[in-house]
Each structure stands twice: as C-alpha cells, then as structure tokens.
Structure 1
Amino acid sequence: MILVVLGIAIFFFGLLFSIAWHELGHLATAKMFGVKVTQYMVGFGRTLFSRQGRETEYGVKAIPLGGYIRMIGMFPPKKDEEYGRTASSAPWRAMVEDARQAVAEEVRPEDSHRQFYQRKPWKRLIVMAAGPFMNLILAVGIFASVLMGYGQAEPTTTVGEVSKCVLPADAPNTQRCPPDAPLSPAAQAGLRPGDEIVSFNGQPVRSWEQLRSTIRDSSGTVSMVVERGGERVTLTPTLMQTQRPKIDDPEETVRVGFLGFAPDTALVRQDIAGVADRIGGIIGMTAQKVVELPSEVPDLVGAIAGQEREQDSPVGIVGASRLGGQVLSYDEASVSARLIMMVQLLAGVNLSLFLINMLPLLPLDGGHIAGALWESARRKVAWLFRRPDPGPFDTAKLMPLAYAVSLVFIAYSLLVLVADIVNPVTLS
C-alpha cells in the first residue's frame, strides 16, 4: 500500500512538472519576442502559492488540471469603422466584446508596444507552438533515453514457455487444459523452456521474426535443432494447422502452422534508427487514440455504470497517477523495470498533451497557431494582389467557439474523472 501511495505521489508531481514544462515554453518564447507576461501559473482556481517577479507572477493553483501564462494584448482592438456601428445584444457579440475589454484593461500605456497581437505571425506561431513542443521534446527525450540506455524487450529464439495443449484462438486465457484438449506439438516433441532453437527444417535460425514466419508457413513433420545444456538436440515435432490472428492484422485470423511455445525476451539497446522507428510508431498510435477520443464516450459511461472498462480507455490525471502507483507496487518486476515503466508512462502522457494541444481549435494552442497561419496567408494574398494590408486576424471573434470547445473539454474531463474514481483502469 505504501508503494502504491508513493507511486501515485511521484507520478502526480511528474504530471505537474509536465504542465510547468509546457508553460515554460510559452513563457520563454514570449519574453524572447518582447511580449509582456503577467502570470505564469500551474493549475487553475484559487492560488495556493505565488511569488512576484520583476513583471511576472509565478504560482501554483488549487486545481491541477492544466496551466497557463497570461500575455497582454491577446486580441487586437476594434477597427475604427466598428466603433460607429450599433451595438448588438446578441449573446455571442457580448462574449466577444467582454473578452476584448478584459484583455484591453490589462494593457498599461507604457506596455502598449509589448502586446501579443502586435508580433508578426511567425513569432506568435512560435510562442504558441513552444508549449506543446516542450511536451514533445520531453517525451522523445524519455523514450530515446530508455531505448538507447536501458533497451527494449524483444523476443528471442530461446524458448520461454511451452504450451501444454492446443486451445482455440478465442478460448479464455487459462493455464489449465481441458481433458479432451490435444497436447501441443512442442510438448509432444519434448521442447523445454530454455532451449535455444538454432535451426528449423535445415535452415539456420537468426531471429524470432524469421522463425515465427517459417513455423506459420510449415506443415507436417519438421526437424529442429535446439541447444540444451551445451549440447545440440534434434527434435521432430509434427505441426498442427490452426486458426491464429494475422501478424499485420490481429482482427483477422488465418490458418497457419502451429508448434505451441512462446519465446523468451531480452533487453536490446536500440540505435538511432531503431529509436526513430519506435518513437514514430508510438506517435502514430497515440495520434490514432487522440482521434478516437469521442468514440470512447460510450465506454466511459458504461464504466461509470459498472461495466468492465477497457484497458486502453482514456484516463485523466487521477487515473494516470493511479496507474503510476500500480506500476511502482508491481512486485513481479525489478525496481529498475518499474521505474522505467513509470517514466515511459509519463512520456506517453506528454506525447498526448502535445497532440491534443496541436488540434486547431481555440482555446487550445493549435487554435492560435491556425489563426497565425491564416493571418500570414491572408496578408501574403493581399500583397500579391496589391490590396491593403488586412491587419491582424481577430481571434476575439472566435471566442463563442472557444467557450463551446472549453465546455466540451470540461465535460469530457469530468466524465473521465468520474470513471477514474469509480472504475479505474488497472494493470493486467
């Protein structure tokens, strides 16, 4: 229990560091381009602690669900021709004007030249992209350090476990064999855990991938040579044909040769090419999960109602911290392996933060990036056709959309929070 609590605490503070690291990217680039930043906060709500710097207040707030920096002049002022128009009572226009007025009130006369909207689009793009990219840098740094320094578990040509019997592909996961279940070919032939397979049907075995493909493509009686206790032993198993998931598409099954053993694994340190390939795969998989977030709502609702929760279900800061606690208390792994699992879990969270924040929706960073790109394109078109400069893109007009997106994210976050409390994701 102590290890669980300790793991939760360590992972929780790791998440807070990730939030602070994200906001540091915004803060550093904003100051670099001369934008005045009045606040740098980790969390939302009531301030627990703060310290006033020369011009920026640094602090921690009570609700650790994110963070922010406050830059002056996020929205441009009204154009001159808009002042003479009749005020509208439409709720959306009131939102826009209230947001614009709140931003304008923060600007003092001596800071009028240090407003965010006055910076060139490429500078604003860098400021808004710096936060998510800090998360990406942290995630890539963690994954690369683990893969190159610790290694990645890869299957070997050594036998790890021999199946006692043959079960259908859709059979429940159990170690007991039914009385009528046939023995596996590996068990019949006398294959043992620890045997290193050196050749199969006369062909030298160099990798697990090669051996797996050869077994699946074979049938009938085959010969295989294993090294056991310093001696080479020849076995002649008779392969069975059975339905197994396809290697490249686990949702589909095919009829293949079956021997009946699982390979042992070993840690293999990766080179730069291997790291790039592995991280690219992780990014692609995480991006797919981000796209699938809306489709996870029924599973979350079902989990709250008492149904079994899927292991790849979305988790929030509470659920992720609980997973960190489970990892640290997982006594079937070494201490080093548990720590590696924790930092990789933290890296995955940072990768998710990067991808979510890059979505082109206000109030996310990606929404401001999209606005800067649109402004740049609009100005270039005006220059090409010798038209007047259209000026900065008025993101204040998108505030109703930003409020709507915020409500959706808040509702989704609350749904995940409740699911994490009443029916958390657990390690298998």
Structure 2
Amino acid sequence: MTVLLFILGVLFVAVGIALSIALHEVGHLLPAKLFKVRVTQYMVGFGKTLWSRKKGETEYGVKAIPLGGYVSMIGMYPPAKVKAGAAASGAAESVRQSSTGMFQQLANDARQAEAERLQPGDDNRVFYKLPVYKRMIIMLGGPFVNLVIGVVLLGIVMVGFGSAQPSTTISEVNKCVVSAAQQAETGQTDCLPSDPQAPATAAGILPGDTVTSFDGKPVTDWYELTRWIRDAAGEATPITLERDGQSISTTITPVLSERPVFDESNELVLDANGDPVMEEVGFVGMGSTQELVPQPVTAVLPAVGENLQAIAGVVLNLPQRLADVAEAAFSDAPRDPNGPMSVVGVGRIAGEISAMEEIPFEARAASLIGLVGSVNLALFVFNLIPLLPLDGGHVAGALWEAVRRGFAKLFRRPDPGPVDIAKLLPLTYAVAILMMGMGALLIYADIVKPVNIFG
C-alpha cells in the first residue's frame, strides 16, 4: 500500500506540473492570437512529437520530453538591415562579408529560416512588428498564468484545508535533555546514562495528552505556552492535562537549557552568518501535534509574497546554490533543504508525503496541492530572469527597444527599428546549455543525495 501511495503522489505532482506547463504556454498562445500573430505550433514538451493535430493555422501537440514547452510564432527575428545608400551589388557584398563570422552566420541562418516560414499576407502578422506593450503582454502571459495558478492553489490549501499550526496536544515526550550545543558538536540524538531526565517525562506527561493550564493560566495557544515555559526555568510549576477525557494535575520544573531564539512571529532568529541565535531558557522536552487551521483569504497574498521572496533569494544566489549542490552531490556534505532541486526531487518528496499513512489524508492532500502551487511560483520567478531564451529575456529586449526608440524620438534621430535578438543567439545557446547542465546536476544530486525535509 505504501508503494502504491508513493506512486500516486509522484503521478499527482507530475500531472500537476505538466498541466502547469501546458497552461503556461496557453498564456503565450491566447494573447498572440488576440493580437493576430500567426502561431504555427503549440507544443508541450521537447523532442519527438508523440501526438499532434492541426486546427486552423496552428499545430497542437505533445512531445516526448515533458520538461517544458513552446509556442512558435512567425517573425520572432526581424530581417537584417541593409545600410542606406548602398548599391545593390555593394549591399550584397556587405551581406556576404558580414556572414563570414560564426556568430553572424548563426544570426543570418536564423533570419533565413524565419523568412522561409512567411506566407502571403503575413506582413502585418509578424511578432517583431507588434508594439512593445503587446510583445510584453505575450511574453509575460506565460509567467502570469503560473503566478495565478500558484496563488489559487496556495489559496485552496490555506483557506480550504488550513495551514499547519501547533496544537496544545502533545505529540512526543523526550526521555532526557540533550542541549542544542551538544547535539551540534557530537551529533547525539539518543539519551546517554549521564543525561538528565526530561522534565515532561518526570512529570508523567504522555503523548496524546492535551495541556489545559500552566501555572493556573488557561492554555489555548502552543506558542504562548512555550513562552511561559521558557520563562519558568527552575520553578516547580503546576500543569493540568486532559487524558482520555480525564483531568490530570501534576507539577513540572523546566530546566535551563540552550535553545534557539524565536521572534514575535515565531520565526527562527538568525545571526549575520545565517546560524540560529541561541539563549539559555526553560525547557521541558515535549513537542506539539500539528493541526490544519483554516486561514482567512487575506492571509493568502502575504503568504504568496513570502514564498516569492524566498524563491527570488534562491535565484539571485543561484551560482552559489548550485555550487553547494555540486559539493553535496560529490562529497559527504549535507544537502541544503532550502536549495534548488529538479522535478525528480520534487516527485520524490511528493511520493514521500503521499506514503505517510500516519498523517491524515487531508493533510497529505494539502501538502501535495501546495507543492504544485510552489512549483508554479518558482516557474513564475525563474521565467522572469532577463536572459534569452527565457520569457524575461524577450521582455528585456522589448524594453530596450522602447528605450532606444524613445531616445531617438527625443533627440529627433531616425527610428532605430526593432531590436535584432538574432544577434543574441550565441548568448541564447550558451544560456540554454547552462540550463541543461544545471538540470543534469540537480537530477543527479536528487538521485544520489536527495533533499531530506522530513528529518
């Protein structure tokens, strides 16, 4: 049964990502058709075509490698400029001379291939002749769809299912006290005979008990209880529990132990090096069960913003993050759970979540839906990188064209015309090769050193 659940979890996320890619391309397709650009292909995947059907002037299909997709529009590359005043023979000679460079030849070949796709009546249906704002709408349509999907799915999770919050019911009770510093220095997780007994165990607290009062104060919030415990080091304090419908009173004495510091939002406080800030506080050695608490609609967008901020942080530090992944993959160094991963890693995590039968079904379903939502937010951010062949590269080219034309108009100079992105093909190929290398590294790392987010 566990294997079947694992497979179902992987399939759920795989289908979710495939649909997200397909809808991303729809985000390009619809505005392109709205602006009358002739679209020759709408494809999900790369490589060999598995299935296709032509409807009108567009071929719709699915390809063998489901790691992306594309919408093929005519007129992505403007024709090469010929210097004004040049004679016909001189212009031809100029073209021949400019074609001798390898990079220039790449651009010329791309323009020639683009010209061969043109049909009668296409003069005003080419992409490069659209106003800048229309080209930006087309290229931003895909990432925008991913953003909408991410917001909707995270909204379903937060409002429909709820976000995981600690309850006042005990999930586990430690047998002994092992300081955080001792764990960091020695890696100790099990109790040694010399380790002191945990106060929760000494007080007779058991997993499944619900804390109802502490020091005579009613307990309704786990974080509030934690703060009271941290302030009560060395003090014998009355505590009341509910067990199997019965009220039980006992006394607990928190011990002074080095523990991480949390801020008012219950987030871990880090120092300048990114390490947790520690302090000596009261500790009893018991953990809380998690329960799903539905959140208001107003909480969705702030949560999406936090998610996007975290993803942007990974993207901005991508070279260093990839270096860390490579180090972990080829050494004994641990893998950063907050670092990048491939679809293989995402699928494995989805399978592990689905196979956790000890977790309620609704919690697993919420986690899988949230995982697909987070992938869509990652696609949104990644596609905005201003490098070709990513959508952000086309947007950057359109903006540069607007700036050039704006300055030309301001200083009454001739219109410089559209930006010739064919000249950037060498950079485009280099970025594509780097992306393939990145994908290969992440897939390898996700196989030999997978991210461990479950401890």
Q: 1:126 aligns with which of 131, 137, 141?
A: 137
Match runs of 1:169-318 below 5 Å: 169=180, 170-171=182-183, 172=187, 174=189, 176-201=190-215, 203-229=217-243, 235-247=250-262, 248-249=268-269, 251=275, 252-302=277-327, 304-305=329-330, 307=332, 310=335, 311-318=337-344
What TM-score does the superposition give when structure 1 sets the normalisation length? 0.91
Q: CA deviation at 1:423?
A: 4.3
Q: CA deviation at 1:301?
A: 3.3
Q: CA deviation at 1:426?
A: 5.5
Deviation by residue 1:327-369 (Cα, 9 ceiling, x = unmatched): 3323222333333222222222111111110111111000111
Distance of 1:50 and 1:78 partners within structure 2:
33
Report if aligned partners of 2:212, 2:242 keep a CA contact under 8 Å in 1: no
Q: 1:156 aligns with which of 156, 159, 167?
A: 167
Report if aligned partners of 1:159, 1:193 keep a CA contact under 8 Å in 2: yes
Give the 3 Å change call, closer, same or farther, for CA 257–423 of structure 1 in structure 2: closer
Give the 3 Å change call, closer, same or farther, for CA 154–55 of structure 1 in structure 2: same
Deviation by residue 1:128-175 (Cα, 9 ceiling, x = unmatched): 01101111111111110111011111012333322221002142474x
2:62 corresponds to which residue?
Answer: 60
Q: 1:371 aligns with which of 397, 407, 417?
A: 397
Greater Cα offset, 132-141 or 326-335: 326-335
Q: CA deviation at 1:303?
A: 5.0
Deviation by residue 1:4-62 (Cα, 9 ceiling, x = unmatched): 33433333222211111110100011111111110001111111111011000001111
Distance of 1:191 and 1:223 partners within structure 2:
14
1:140 corresponds to which residue?
Answer: 151
**Unpaired stretches in structure 2, ≥5 consecutive residues:** 263-267
Amino acid at match of 1:123: K
**What secondary structure is seen at the aligned counterpart in 2 of 1:221?**
coil
Q: CA deviation at 1:64?
A: 1.4
**Unpaired stretches in structure 1, ≥5 consecutive residues:** none
2:265 corresponds to which residue?
Answer: none
What TM-score does the superposition give when structure 2 sets the normalisation length? 0.86
Match runs of 1:68-107 below 5 Å: 68-81=70-83, 84=91, 85=94, 86-107=97-118
Percent same amino acid among aligned pairs? Answer: 44
Distance of 2:179 and 2:44 partners within structure 1:
52
1:42 corresponds to which residue?
Answer: 44
1:26 corresponds to which residue?
Answer: 28
Amino acid at match of 1:189: A
Is 1:324 matched with 2:323? no
Report if aligned partners of 2:260, 2:278 keep a CA contact under 8 Å in 1: yes
Amino acid at match of 1:279: V
Report if aligned partners of 2:214, 2:240 keep a CA contact under 8 Å in 1: no
Q: 1:345 aligns with which of 368, 371, 382?
A: 371
Report if aligned partners of 1:316, 1:420 keep a CA contact under 8 Å in 2: yes
Distance of 2:49 and 2:174 partners within structure 1:
58
RMSD: 2.5
Q: CA deviation at 1:293?
A: 3.0
Amino acid at match of 2:136: L
Greater Cα offset, 414-423 or 87-96: 414-423
Amino acid at match of 1:121: V
Distance of 1:216 and 1:298 partners within structure 2:
39
Greater Cα offset, 156-165 or 50-59: 156-165
Distance of 2:228 and 2:400 partners within structure 1:
54
Report if aligned partners of 1:290, 1:352 keep a CA contact under 8 Å in 2: no
Deviation by residue 1:61-91 (Cα, 9 ceiling, x = unmatched): 1111111010000122222318833425222
Is 1:334 matched with 2:354? no
Distance of 1:143 and 1:220 partners within structure 2:
43
2:434 corresponds to which residue?
Answer: 408
Give the 3 Å change call, closer, same or farther, for CA 31–173 of structure 1 in structure 2: farther
Q: CA deviation at 1:234?
A: 5.1
**What secondary structure is seen at the aligned counterpart in 1 of 2:72?**
strand
